[in-house]
Chains A and B, each alone.
Chain A
Amino acid sequence: MIDTDSLTITEARKLLGAGTITSSELTQVYLEEIERENGELNAFIEIYEDALDSAAIADKSNGSGVLHGIPMGIKDNILIEGKHASSGSKILKDYVASYDAHVITELKKAGALFIGRTNMDEFGMGSSTESSHYGPTKNPVDPTRVPGGSSGGSAAAVASGMVPVALGSDTGGSSRQPASFCGIVGFKPTYGTVSRRGLMALASSLDQVGVLAKTCNDANLVYTVISTEDQFDATNIPMSERATTKKEIKKVGVLRNFVASQNIDASVKDAYEKFLNELEAAGHELVEIDTQLFVDAISVYYIILPCEASSNLARYDGVRFGLREDYVDLLEQYVYTRASGFGDEVVRRILLGTFSLSAGYKDAYYGKANAKRQEITATFRKLFAEQVDAIVTPTAPTPAFKIGGISSALEMYMQDLFTLPINIAGVPCVSIPYTHDEAGLPIGMQIIGDYFSDHTILDFGTKFEKLTPFKQS
C-alpha cells in the first residue's frame, strides 16, 4: 500500500529499484489519486492519455536515471512537444507545443514521465490561481481557500498526493508562496542556472523554472537534473561560472523588526519568532539586516514586470497561433483578439507596462526602476559578501486566504512582499513548510542564499526538516 501523501522521490526510486513496484503500478496509483481528488481541487487541467504508456516504456527500458519511472506534474506554461500548453489563458487554449523545453529534455533523459499539466494564474500573473481560464484551483488543506499562485496547480497536486513532484515557475514567488500555502517545499533557483527555453515568458529577467516537492532533498534531485547548461538561452550561465564560496550556513540574516512592524498576520509573526529561536538554539548566529531593499523591491517589481510582460505578450495577436477573432481588418483582428483572449489581470499589467514604457514616462518609471534594481542587487551581494551566509523570512505575510477573499489588485500584490525581492536580485531561495496556524493552515519560511548556493540552501533545508519535522494537518 503506497501512501502518496508522503511518498518522496527517493523512497519511490528505492521501491522501483528493488522491484517492489513498477513504474506502471506507481503511475496507476497516482492516476487513481487524481481521479479521487482532482474533481474538487482542479489542480490538473489535463491528464495525459499516454502517461501509462510512458510508464510501461520506463518499465521495459530499465534505465538508471535519477528520476527513472517517476511521474511528474508540469505547469501549463512549460512546453512538452505535441502537448497542449496555454499558460492558463484563453488566448492559448488550443496551442500545441512544437518542441520540448530544455527542462523537459533533461527530465526525459533522467527517466521522468509526465502525468499531466497543472493549473496556474493566467500567464503567471497572480498569487492565488484564481485567474486561470480553467477556473480556480483549491487548497487541499482547506478547499474553501486558495492554494497560492501562480503555480497553485502544481502545489495542490503535490500536497494532495496526486504526484510526488511538479515543475512550476517563479517570477515573483510563484513557486514559493503556493508551497507555503499548501505545506510543501517550493524552490526558486539562481537566475540563469535553469534554462528558460520553452518556459513561456512573463518577465524574462525575472522568470525561472521552479520545483514543488515534498522535501528539500527531492527538490535538490530535480534541480540537479534541470540545471544543465543550455546554449539556446542567452541568460543561461555556463557551469564554469557558477562557483559559490558558501558551503555552510552559520550567520543568518533576519528581519525581526521589519516583520514585527508590518501588517502581517499574527500567526506568521509568531511562527517567524519561533523559527528564529530554533535557528539560534541550533547554533546559528542571527544578524538583523537592513530592510529597505524589501520595501523598495515592491515598487521596482511592479514597474519592471508589467514592462517586460507588455512586451512579451505582444506576440499574442491571433496571427500565427492561439485564439483569433476573425475580422476583415488586421488592426481590428488584433484588438478584438487580445480583448477577448486576455483576462482582467493580464490586461491590467499590459496597460501598466505600456504606460511605464510610453514616451515621457519611460525614464521616470522603467529607467528608475532598473537603476533601483541594480542597487537592490548590489545590497544583496554586499550582505552575502560581508554579513551573512543566508537570510530567512516568512514566505508569505498570511496563511492561505479564502477564495475570493482578496479583491484589490494592490492587496494581492502585497502577498509577494517577501518573495519578489529575491527575483529582483536573482538569488536562490527555498520555502520550507514550518508550522500551522490555529486553523491548521500551513505556514512556510523561506531561506535565501547567495548566488549559486542553491544546493547549500537545499541541504540547509534538509537539515531543518530533520530538526523540526512538518506534518500535514
Chain B
Amino acid sequence: MEINTSYLANLARIHSDRVSEGLKSSIASILEFVDKLAGAEVKSFKNTNYNRTRPDNVENFAFSRELLLKNFPQQQDGFLVVPQILKK
C-alpha cells in the first residue's frame, strides 16, 4: 500500500523529518494487516454505546489557578504567551 507519510505528518502537525524510513514501512505493513477488515461483511447495528448527558451548567469543580499557570510553557503577567499570528 502506497502511503504519503509526509502528507499525513502535515495533517497530524508533526514535522515530516520525524517520520523515519522504519516508521514508514511499519505503517504500511500495519495498514496492510488491518486492511482485511475493508473486505469483511458487517451487519448493520444500532449504536449501543452509553453516553450520559447532563445540562451544561457551571459545576463546583474548582481548578487551582496557580497550578494552571505553573503549567504554561511561557507566561507574562498571568497570561499565556504564544507566537504572534496576526501581522501588523
* Contact with A330, one of B31, B52, B85 (Cβ below 8 angstroms): B85
Which of B29, B37, B38, B74 has a CB less than 8 Å from the CB of A296? B37
Q: Return the chain A residue nearest B3 by Cβ.
A: A355
In-complex Cβ contact of B64 among A81, A205, A336, A375 (8 A): A81
B52 touches A236 (CB 8 A): yes
Assess the B52–A237 pair: CB atoms within 8 A.
yes
Given A335-B14, A374-B45, A351 and B8 contact (CB-CB distance below 8 Å)? yes
Give bound CA distance, A329 to B27, whole Å: 29
- Provide the residues of chain B in CB contact with A364, threshold 8 Å: 38
Would A347 and B52 count as touching, CB distance under 8 A? Answer: no
Indicate whether A348 reaches chain B with its CB closer than 8 angstroms.
Answer: yes
Q: Which residues of A contact B52 (CB under 8 A)?
A: 234-238
Contacts of B31-71 to chain A: CB distance below 8 A: 31, 33-34, 36-38, 40, 42-54, 59, 61, 63-64, 67-68, 70-71
- B23:A344 contact, CB within 8 angstroms: yes
Per the CB 8 Å criterion, the residue count for chain B at the interface is 56
Q: Which residues of B contact A410 (CB under 8 A)?
A: 26, 29-30, 33
Which residues does chain A contribute within 8 Å of B53, judged by CB atoms?
234
* A234 adjacent to B51 (CB under 8 Å): yes
Asked whether B88 is an interface residue with its Cβ less than 8 Å from the other chain, the reply is no
Complex Cα spacing A374 to B46, Å: 8
Inter-subunit contact A372/B73 (CB<8 Å)? no
Q: Which of A99, A192, A329, A413 contacts B83 (CB 8 A)?
A: A329
With the chains together, A296 CA to B36 CA distance in Å?
9
A351 and chain B: residue at smallest CB distance: B8
Whole-angstrom CA separation of A234 from B53 in the bound complex: 6
B-chain residues with CB within 8 Å of residue A342 when the two chains form the complex: 14, 18
Query: Are the CB atoms of A321 and B71 closer together than 8 Å?
Result: yes
Interface residues of A in 81-112 (CB under 8 A from B): 81-82, 95-99
CA distance A326 to B84 in the complex (A): 12
The chain B residue sitting closest to A359, CB to CB, is: B11
Given A98-B71, A205-B49, A320-B72, verify A355-B40 contact (CB < 8 Å): no
Contact call B43/A375, Cβ cutoff below 8 A: yes
Q: Are B26 and A299 in contact (CB under 8 A)?
A: no
A318 touches B (CB below 8 Å): yes
CB distance from B65 to the nearest CB of A (A): 9
Contacts of B80 in A (CB 8 A): 319-320
For the complex, give the distance between the alpha carbons of A355 and B38 in Å.
14
CA gap between A333 and B82 in the complex, in Å: 9
Q: Which of A98, A330, A371 contacts B67 (CB 8 A)?
A: A98
A314 B8 Cβ-Cβ under 8 A: no
List of A residues within 8 angstroms of B74 by Cβ: 324, 326
Write the A429-458 contact mask toward B (1 if CB under 8 angstroms, else 0): 000000000000000000000000000000
B37 to chain A, nearest CB (A): 4
Nearest-neighbour CB distance to chain A for B23, whole angstroms, equals 6
Q: Are A98 and B63 in contact (CB under 8 A)?
A: yes
List of A residues within 8 angstroms of B44 by Cβ: 371
Query: Whole-angstrom distance between the alpha carbons of A330 and B82 in the complex?
Result: 8
A377 sits at the interface (CB 8 A)? yes
Distance in Å: Cβ of A396 to nearest Cβ of chain B: 19
Chain A CB within 10 Å, residue with most, of B5, B17, B31 = B31
Question: What residues of B have a CB within 8 angstroms of the CB of A371 in the complex?
Answer: 42-45
Task: Let me know if A300 is at the binding interface, CB within 8 A.
Answer: yes
Closest to A99 in B: B63
Cβ contacts under 8 Å, A322 to chain B: 71, 73
* Smallest Cβ-Cβ distance to B70: which chain A residue: A96
Is the CB of A334 closer than 8 A to any CB of chain B? yes
Assess the B37–A348 pair: CB atoms within 8 A: no
For A334, the chain B residues whose CB sits under 8 A away are 13
B42 touches A372 (CB 8 A): yes
Interface pair B64/A303, CB less than 8 Å apart = no
A350 to B15, CA, bound (A): 13
Asked whether, in the complex, the Cβ of B12 is within 8 Å of the Cβ of A354, the reply is yes
Q: What residues on B are CB-neighbors of A374 within 8 Å? A: 42, 45-48
A96/B67 contact (C-beta < 8 A), A327-B83, A372-B42 known: yes
B34 and A299 contact, CB distance less than 8 A = yes
Shortest Cβ distance from B26 into chain A, in angstroms? 5
Asked if A333 and B83 make an inter-chain contact with CB atoms under 8 angstroms apart, the answer reads yes
B34 lies within 8 A of A351 (CB): no
Indicate if the CB atoms of A338 and B14 lie closer than 8 Å. Answer: yes
Say whether A375 contacts B3, CB under 8 Å.
no
Q: Provide the bound-state CA to CA distance between A69 and B70, in Å.
A: 31
Those 6 A-B pairs whose CB atoms lie nearest each other, nearest first: A374-B45, A324-B73, A339-B18, A98-B67, A339-B15, A321-B71
A234-B54, A369-B37 known; 11 new pairs, CB 8 Å cut-off, are A302-B33, A302-B34, A321-B71, A335-B14, A338-B13, A339-B14, A347-B18, A348-B26, A354-B11, A375-B42, A375-B45
5 contacts between A and B (CB under 8 A): A235-B49, A348-B26, A351-B9, A351-B12, A355-B27
